[in-house]
Amino acid sequence: MKCVDDFRLRFGKQEFVPIMVGGMGVDISTVDLALEAARLGGIGHISDAMVQTVSDRRDQTHFTKEKLKLYKYNVANSDKSKVMFDLGRLREATHNHVGRAMQAKRGSGMIFVNCMEKLTMNAPKDTLRVRLASALDAGIDGITLSAGLHLGSFGLIADHPRFRDAKLGIIVSSLRALQLFLRKNARLNRAPDYIVVEGPLAGGHLGFGIDDWREYDLRTIVAEILQYLKTEQLDIPVIPAGGIFTGSDATSYLEMGAAAVQVATRFTATRECGLPDKVKQEYIKAREDDIEVNMISPTGYPMRMLKSSPAIGDGIRPNCEAYGYLLDGSGNCAYITAYNREVAAHPGAKKVSVMDKTCLCTAMRNFDCWTCGHYTYRLKDTTRQLPDGSYQLLTAEHVFRDYQFSVDNKVALPA
């Protein structure tokens, strides 16, 4: 019986264990987690979401404080159009975060950074260009473009000296999105090095509609994309993601022609994951009906999360002067609109509750939005319950090796 270790992900002459740990925004997929994946011969991801805040927490910088100081005068103003990121500071923060990972990297694997297009930072093109270019400058092995169609993203770095040597990949949820991307970038004569195909059971934002995500199935989308690439004679590694929970699940995709798998949820139960330990316990003990897909993310994409996330219904004042990562380029964010509506409807109220949107920057910064994959409710089967009722946290190495070597849909429990 075959296992994941019988396969290899190939980029030219380089070979890797075909396990990619997906990016989990705002430091849930930490540098430490990515380092473990790379040490074990696979691919780890960091994420550049809210990179200034992450750098402040990890590297004792003060980017967020400085930005807040600069825009403090605007805190009570609902017009956020003046709240901009200093591109030099953004470059520095990205360099810190990516550089810290790359300097510590050991082993034969690689570290990629997940870059979400929806992180529009009140100047979508300029900030994305800086994020991508600084990650390349800091030596990142590869960039995974996510949360958006990224039709212009390759163009933003086409003149970067590493544009053709770094691995550049795209996450899509449909053949149509992939075709659009390939068509738009044809003139650059640079195909993506890999395509992550993310299905409807993934964590984070979903590339499907809130009403129709149940109608899609990862295996069907992967088969369509493999067939398309074959017909077009395009040799690009395809990496399915979303709901691949056991080594056997992964092996079945490799057997159908996938080059690797991208996995994330199982790593939320590891010590290296950036969620606070208390939150990890919430994930591990979750039952199936504790999880929902909702529309509270201001990005407009559906997001899967635990229903008990403190972010749901919270009505804090928008924190754009400190954060502002989702401002759309004209100072707007769907949370600001929802918040203002509630404030106007409840004059004199000390605190309002906003049910339809959340201040995602603040919620992710405080680990209050517990986004998770569909199979989070199976995490309790991957570990042991301790005498005090809590669950034993795993090591990333344990989970990685379980994916790599397990067969027969088995999950190895920790020692």
- Which residue number, 52 or 268, has a Cβ lying nearer to ligand FMN? 268
**What would the x/- binding string for ligand FMN be over residues 69 to 98, using CB under 6 A?**
------------------------------
Q: Give me the least distance between CB of 189 and ligand FMN, in Å please.
A: 26
**309: which 2 tokens?**
């996330």
Q: Which is nearer to ligand FMN, 25 or 109 (CB)?
A: 25
Is residue 240 a contact partner of residue 19, using CB atoms and an 8 Å limit?
no
Task: List the one residue from 4, 37, 49, 182 that touches ligand FMN (CB under 6 A).
Answer: 49
Decide whether 148 or 331 has the Cβ nearer to ligand FMN.
148
Min CB(276)–ligand FMN separation in Å: 13
* DSSP string across 280-299: HHHHHH--GGGEEEE--STT
Is position 24 an interface residue for ligand FMN (rule: CB under 6 A)? yes
CA distances from 387 to 283, 298, 391 (A): 18, 41, 9
Judged by CB under 6 A, the chain residues 358 through 377 that form the site for ligand FMN are 371-373, 375
Residue pair 361/317 in contact (Cβ under 8 Å)? The answer is no
| Cα–Cα distance for residue pair 372/222, rounded to 1 Å | 22
Torsion on CA atoms 355, 359, 360, 365, rounded to nearest 10: -130
- Kindly give the pairing relationship between strand 303-306 and strand 204-205: antiparallel
Does residue number 207 form part of the binding site for ligand FMN (CB under 6 A)? no
Is residue 379 near ligand FMN by the rule CB under 6 A? no
Tokens of 346: 């409840």
Residue of 200, 204, 240, 315 interacting with ligand FMN (CB under 6 A):
204
Nearer to ligand FMN (CB atom), residue 47 or residue 382 = 47
- Residue 256 carries which side chain, given as an amino acid letter? M
Give the helix/strand (H/E) hosting 100.
helix 87-104
Rounded Cα gap, residues 1 and 21, in angstroms? 24
Residue closer to ligand FMN by CB (options 7, 283) is 283
**Residue from 185, 265, 270, 358 that binds ligand FMN (CB under 6 A)?**
265
- Helices 87-104 and 124-137 cross at an angle (nearest 10°) of 30
315: Cα within 13 Å, side-chain hemisphere? 18
Q: Which of residues 99-118 bind ligand FMN (CB under 6 A)?
A: 114, 116
Smallest gap from Cβ 340 to ligand FMN, in A, equals: 27
Three-class secondary structure of residue 164 per DSSP: coil
- List 47, 52, 55, 404, residue binding ligand FMN (CB under 6 A): 47
Question: Is 396 a binder of ligand FMN (CB under 6 A)?
Answer: no
Shortest Cβ 122–ligand FMN spacing (Å): 19
- 120 is a site residue for ligand FMN (CB under 6 A): no
264 binds ligand FMN (CB under 6 A): yes
Residue 134 contacts ligand FMN per CB under 6 A: no
Q: Distance (Å, rounded) from C-alpha 19 to C-alpha 350? A: 49
Q: Could you identify the residue written with the tokens 């034993």?
A: 392
List the end-to-end C-alpha distance of the chain, in Å, as a whole number: 24
User: Looking at this protein, which amino acid is placed at residue 80?
Assistant: K
The values of phi and psi at residue 18, to 5°, are: -80, 50
Q: Is 112 helix (H, G, I), strand (E, B) or coil?
A: strand
Instruction: Give the number of C-alpha atoms closer than 13 A to the C-alpha of residue 395, restricted to the C-beta side.
Output: 9
Site string for ligand FMN, 267-296 (x = CB under 6 A): -x----------------------------
Closest contact distance (angstroms) between CB of 24 and ligand FMN is: 3
- Beta carbon of residue 13, minimum distance to ligand FMN (angstroms, whole number): 27
Assess 315 for contact with ligand FMN (CB under 6 A).
no
71/112 with CB nearer ligand FMN: 112
Q: Which residue, 19 or 352, is less far from ligand FMN as judged by CB?
A: 19
Q: Footprint of ligand FMN on this chain (CB under 6 A)?
A: 22-25, 28, 47, 49, 114, 116, 146-147, 171, 198, 201-204, 241-244, 262-265, 268, 371-373, 375
